[in-house]
């Protein structure tokens, strides 16, 4: 019997190795030793470390460990190149991006093989997924470059961008960051992961070959200290980081108060929800892709299986059968399903986590069969008998480990899915499209795949909620992340608020009747927990009123009320608009009273400010049902619905000036988009906003949607920044206090906007549009397949 007939009879595994010769020849052409690519030139190698093949432990090349001096040289080269690069027409920049895309396509096999040798992922994934997507991103952003001025009017590039990428998708992460940065007119310094620098260095050679102007792209290799030098360099205007949540928090703290742009794409613990009406066989194939793609070393890996109880037993049995057929081995073999982990330290980390989970009661299943004795290999694992508190359920494992739990009802599925500090991606399997589209918006994740998983495209944004970071990569929102309003460069320092020449007030001299303005929490007037009040003075120093002196407990109560009112986000946009219109109408009805209050507090005519506040409420009432999403058409049989969603609970600390407009201009866009608000009004002039709750009570504003806590702005801002129940925080105040707010926000990586001591004239009409609307929302992309 011939060999082919034997194979068909036995169905034995037959290897299909990919030749590494071209990749080896490229490495040899560089003497297996690399310096940096700075200013269009290759530097001499410095102190090096080895980049190893995780499948066999062999050294592939020696990579230079970048120093602070190397980073500084790269920043200077990028700064020197920025003026001419950003001055090019979008068409000219687009031509370079197009040339890069073509060159990557031409050398796609070399990139694929080199990526697999350096990273350990199966060649099928590098060849069929990663490298085609890399080319797609450069093609897509070549088009964006030419159309920026039309689609992003009055926007300018940040300048010099520092970019730090991980080792799980080395070249794809590079494309996600460099393509939009260059399209926008920025120049970049990119640091690849120390484990996987080789394809970034090959990309640098491509930049040389296509004639990209010197200094536009700089590649600096190195370990953690090199990345820290990039983050902390004072002449870098934006940082983009993909990696662990722990490092993301360090970067958030390091950039606080610097004014640098920041995008963070961090960890995940993504739910994979299977309902009883799902096509089970398809869902299992999708699950294989969700968790064992790239050995589970994927930030959006579907690592938490939630399967409906009625089909759990059958689903788990079929899944184990499928796991038994997964092949683990040489990643250059085109028949292999699971390749090598990136490094021995990752293997040990996964094993340690499995031991901890088992000690907590988890049952771990691994299929029979052997893995190669040499190299960084692990079997696929399925974990059952766990509660949500188990380490393996709560922690990101970043390995080929799937954790399974069951649910009974859709409501329970949503609760389990959202029971995590992360919010990167989620998958829903159901043949009932009504059910799937009902569940998708309820999942706190930046990407939701329906009846599919791991769909990516340059036209569709990707990024997370909560501790999975903020900012998006890909799509319109990813393009916008590398641009900022041109007028921000002209902002000047805010004038220092002059304190009234107040006398030392005796708390017993405030009158016979207590007329202290109360706080407003959960739709009710509330006395301060402290039991103390704060005097409010006119410009001459005369006492004109008192307000409660709010503290940490008042903020806690206000946040709880705001979270209880989050149903506001699902209220029809038309209804939200009507309520804002009604609020504006009732405020206008009492305009003379509010103008007099502003005059008493500030000594300035308040009529104009009241009129602007009414107008701003009208403006955002009009936006409530118009600032919405889009439907993308990626190059596969699916659409991706980009849904605009509110952040959730927003803390807003108003500026000291403009006691009415300063608060209205900030809370109106937040409310229009469906957020609930905890407002700290002007410390100096809070009475306008304590008067406003009387208007709110007659304007159908639901309880808890707006909560007002008076007191010291800075101390209350710190409490809001540290509170894990607050999803976003806006602070208008000094540079020092802004830095404090940004640092304190790392507890749950809430999104922040701070004025950094600069003067934002909130009366300007530029603030009645998408500037604050964009900061009050985030984009969720829901992928929906179609076709029989």
Concatenating the DSSP letter of every residue in 136-193 gives: HHHHHHHHHHHHHHHHSTTEEE-SEEEEE--SSSHHHHHHHHHHHHHHHT-EEEEE--
- Is 360 an annotated catalytic residue? no
Buried b (16+ CB within 10 A) or exposed e, 240-277: bbbbebebbbbbbbbbbbbebbbbbbbbbbbbbbbbbe
**Measured CA distances, 117 to 23, 49, 168, 234, 332 (Å):** 9, 17, 13, 36, 7
Residue 502 has pLDDT above 80, yes or no: no
HSE, side-chain direction, 13 A CA sphere, residue 413:
26
Alpha helices of 189-279 — where are they, by DSSP H?
Answer: 198-209, 224-232, 245-255
Catalytic pick among 125, 265, 477, 768: 265
Q: Rounded to whole angstroms, how far apart are CA atoms 251 and 469?
A: 11
pLDDT at position 257 is 95
Q: What is the pLDDT of residues 9-64, one digit of tens each?
A: 766 678 899 999 999 999 999 999 999 999 999 999 999 999 999 999 999 999 99
More confident residue, 260 or 507: 260
More confident residue, 6 or 753: 753
DSSP code, position 473: B
**3-class state of residue 548 by DSSP:** strand
Q: What is the pLDDT of residues 124-146, one digit of tens each?
A: 999 999 999 999 999 999 999 99
More confident residue, 1 or 730: 730
Phi-psi region of 159 (alpha: psi -120 to 50; beta: other; left: phi over 0): left
- Give the confidence band of 7 by pLDDT, cuts at 50, 70, 90: low
HSE, side-chain direction, 13 A CA sphere, residue 288:
17
- As a dihedral over the C-alpha atoms of residue 415, residue 416, residue 421, residue 426, rounded to 10 degrees, the angle is -100
Q: Rounded to whole angstroms, how far apart are CA atoms 282 and 123?
A: 23
- Give the confidence band of 510 by pLDDT, cuts at 50, 70, 90: low
Q: What is the pLDDT of residues 611-637, one digit of tens each?
A: 999 999 999 999 999 999 999 999 989
Q: What is the pLDDT of residues 632-681, one digit of tens each?
A: 999 989 999 999 999 999 999 999 999 999 999 999 999 999 999 999 99
Backbone angles phi, psi at 623, to 5 degrees: -80, -20
pLDDT at position 15 is 86
Q: What is the pLDDT of residues 189-238, one digit of tens each?
A: 999 999 999 999 999 999 999 999 999 999 999 999 999 999 999 999 99
pLDDT at position 509 is 55
pLDDT at position 22 is 96
Q: What is the pLDDT of residues 355-391, one digit of tens each?
A: 999 999 999 999 998 899 999 999 999 999 999 999 9
pLDDT at position 187 is 98
pLDDT at position 278 is 97
Alpha helices of 473-590 — where are they, by DSSP H?
Answer: 475-480, 552-564, 573-589
pLDDT at position 497 is 67
Instruction: Give the mean model confidence (pLDDT) for residues 730-737.
Output: 97
Instruction: Give the mean model confidence (pLDDT) for residues 404-408.
Output: 98
Phi-psi region of 523 (alpha: psi -120 to 50; beta: other; left: phi over 0): left
- Give the confidence band of 516 by pLDDT, cuts at 50, 70, 90: confident
Instruction: Give the mean model confidence (pLDDT) for residues 504-511.
Output: 54
Return the bridge partners of 646, or none: 777
Average pLDDT of every residue of the chain: 95
Q: What percent of the chain has pLDDT over 70?
A: 96
More confident residue, 269 or 504: 269
Return the bridge partners of 449, or none: 427, 783
- Give the confidence band of 498 by pLDDT, cuts at 50, 70, 90: low
Backbone angles phi, psi at 503, to 5 degrees: -85, 165
Residue 521 has pLDDT above 90, yes or no: yes
**Other residues' Cβ atoms within 10 Å of the Cβ of residue 5:** 9
Written in H, E and C, the secondary structure of 667-692 is HHHHHHCCCEEEEECCCCCCHHHHHH
pLDDT at position 787 is 80
pLDDT at position 392 is 97
Q: Rounded to whole angstroms, how far apart are CA atoms 687 and 685?
A: 6
- As a dihedral over the C-alpha atoms of residue 78, residue 80, residue 84, residue 90, rounded to 10 degrees, the angle is 10
More confident residue, 746 or 510: 746
pLDDT at position 495 is 86
Instruction: Give the mean model confidence (pLDDT) for residues 87-114.
Output: 98
Residue 511 has pLDDT above 70, yes or no: no
Q: What is the pLDDT of residues 148-197, one digit of tens each?
A: 999 999 999 999 999 999 999 999 999 999 999 999 999 999 999 999 99
- Is 265 an annotated catalytic residue? yes
- As a dihedral over the C-alpha atoms of residue 658, residue 660, residue 661, residue 665, rounded to 10 degrees, the angle is 130
- Computed on alpha carbons and rounded to an integer, the radius of gyration of the chain in Å comes to 28
Instruction: Give the mean model confidence (pLDDT) for residues 545-551.
Output: 95
**Measured CA distances, 634 to 456, 628, 783, 784 (Å):** 8, 19, 10, 11
Q: What is the pLDDT of residues 564-597, one digit of tens each?
A: 999 999 999 999 999 999 999 999 999 999 999 9
241: Cα separation from own chain's centroid: 10
Q: What is the pLDDT of residues 315-359, one digit of tens each?
A: 999 999 999 999 999 999 999 999 999 999 999 999 999 999 999
Q: 0.85 cut: is pTM over it?
A: yes
Backbone angles phi, psi at 301, to 5 degrees: -55, 135
Angle ∠(572,574,580) on CA atoms, nearest 5: 110
**Other residues' Cβ atoms within 10 Å of the Cβ of residue 744:** 20
Residue 89 has pLDDT above 90, yes or no: yes
- Give the confidence band of 110 by pLDDT, cuts at 50, 70, 90: very high
Which helix (H) or strand (E) segment holds residue 606: the answer is none
pLDDT at position 784 is 96
Catalytic pick among 161, 299, 300, 376: 299
Lowest average pLDDT, out of 113-117, 461-465, 505-509, goes to 505-509
**Other residues' Cβ atoms within 10 Å of the Cβ of residue 362:** 20
Phi-psi region of 760 (alpha: psi -120 to 50; beta: other; left: phi over 0): beta
């Amino acid at each position: 019997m011939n060999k082919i007939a034997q194979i068909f009879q036995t169905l034995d595994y037959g290897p299909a190795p990919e030749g590494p010769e071209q990749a080896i020849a490229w490495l040899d052409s560089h003497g297996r030793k690399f310096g940096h690519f700075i200013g269009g030139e290759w530097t001499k190698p410095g102190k090096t470390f080895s980049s190893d093949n995780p499948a066999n432990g062999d050294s592939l090349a020696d990579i230079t460990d970048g120093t602070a001096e190397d980073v500084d040289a790269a920043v200077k080269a990028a700064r020197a190149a920025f003026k001419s690069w950003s001055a090019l027409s979008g068409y000219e920049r687009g031509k370079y991006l197009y040339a890069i895309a073509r060159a990557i396509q031409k050398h796609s096999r070399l990139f694929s093989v080199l990526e697999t040798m350096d990273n350990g992922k199966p060649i099928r994934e590098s060849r069929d997924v990663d490298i085609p997507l890399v080319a797609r991103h450069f093609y897509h952003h070549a088009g964006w470059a030419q159309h920026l001025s039309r689609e992003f009017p009055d926007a300018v590039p940040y300048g010099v961008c520092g970019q730090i990428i991980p080792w799980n998708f080395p070249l794809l992460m590079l494309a996600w960051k460099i393509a939009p940065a260059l399209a926008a007119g920025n120049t970049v310094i990119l640091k690849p992961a120390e484990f996987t620098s080789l394809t970034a260095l090959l990309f640098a050679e491509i930049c040389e070959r296509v004639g990209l102007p010197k200094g536009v792209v700089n590649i600096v290799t190195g370990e953690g200290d090199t990345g820290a030098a990039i983050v902390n360099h004072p002449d870098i205007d934006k940082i983009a980081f993909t990696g662990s949540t722990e490092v993301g928090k360090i970067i958030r703290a390091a950039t606080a108060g610097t004014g640098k742009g920041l995008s963070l794409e961090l960890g995940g613990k993504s739910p994979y929800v299977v309902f009883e009406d799902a096509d089970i066989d398809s869902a299992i194939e999708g699950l294989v892709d969700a968790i064992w793609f790239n050995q589970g070393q994927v930030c959006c890996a579907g690592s938490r299986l939630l399967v409906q109880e009625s089909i759990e037993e059958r689903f788990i049995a079929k899944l184990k059968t499928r796991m038994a057929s997964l092949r683990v081995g040489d990643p250059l073999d085109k028949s292999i399903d699971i390749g090598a982990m990136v490094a021995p330290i990752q293997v040990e980390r996964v094993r340690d986590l499995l031991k901890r989970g088992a000690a907590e009661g988890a049952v771990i299943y691994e299929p029979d069969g052997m893995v190669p004795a040499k190299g960084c290999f692990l079997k696929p694992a399925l974990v059952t008998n766990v509660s949500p508190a188990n380490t393996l359920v709560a922690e990101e494992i970043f390995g080929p480990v799937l954790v399974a739990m069951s649910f009974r009802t859709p409501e329970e599925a949503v609760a389990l899915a959202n029971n995590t500090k992360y919010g990167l991606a989620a998958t829903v399997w159901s043949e009932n499209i009504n059910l799937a589209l009902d569940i998708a918006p309820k999942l706190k994740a930046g990407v939701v795949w329906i009846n599919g998983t791991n769909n990516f495209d340059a036209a569709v944004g990707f990024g997370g909620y909560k501790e999975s970071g903020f900012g998006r990569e890909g799509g319109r929102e990813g393009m916008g992340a590398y641009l900022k309003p041109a007028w921000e460069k002209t902002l000047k320092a805010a004038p220092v608020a002059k304190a009234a020449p107040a006398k030392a007030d005796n708390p017993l001299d405030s009158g016979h009747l207590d007329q202290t303005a109360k706080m407003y929490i959960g739709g009710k007037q509330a006395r301060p927990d402290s039991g103390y009040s704060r005097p409010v003075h006119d410009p001459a120093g005369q006492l004109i009123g008192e307000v409660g002196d709010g503290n940490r407990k008042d903020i806690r109560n206000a946040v709880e009320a705001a979270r209880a009112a989050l149903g506001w986000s699902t209220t029809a946009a038309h209804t939200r608009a009507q309520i804002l219109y009604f609020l504006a109408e009732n405020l206008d009805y009492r305009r003379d009273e509010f103008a007099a209050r502003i005059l008493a507090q500030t000594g300035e005519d308040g009529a104009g400010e009241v009129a602007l506040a009414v107008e701003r409420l009208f403006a955002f009432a009009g936006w409530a049902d118009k600032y919405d999403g889009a439907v993308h058409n990626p190059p596969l049989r699916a659409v991706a619905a980009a849904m605009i969603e509110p952040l959730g609970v927003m803390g807003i600390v108003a500026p000291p000036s403009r006691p009415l407009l300063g608060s209205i201009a900030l809370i109106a866009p937040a409310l229009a988009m469906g957020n609930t608000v905890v407002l700290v009004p002007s410390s100096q002039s809070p009475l306008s906003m304590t008067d406003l709750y009387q208007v709110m009570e007659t304007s159908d504003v639901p309880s808890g949607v707006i909560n007002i806590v008076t007191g010291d702005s800075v101390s209350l801002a710190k409490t809001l920044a540290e509170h894990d129940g607050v999803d976003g925080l806006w602070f208008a105040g000094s540079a020092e206090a802004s830095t404090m707010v940004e640092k304190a926000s790392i507890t749950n990586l809430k999104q922040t906007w701070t004025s950094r001591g600069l003067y934002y004239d909130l009366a300007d009409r530029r603030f009645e549009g998408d500037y604050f609307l964009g900061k009050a929302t985030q984009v969720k992309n829901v992928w929906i397949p179609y076709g029989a």
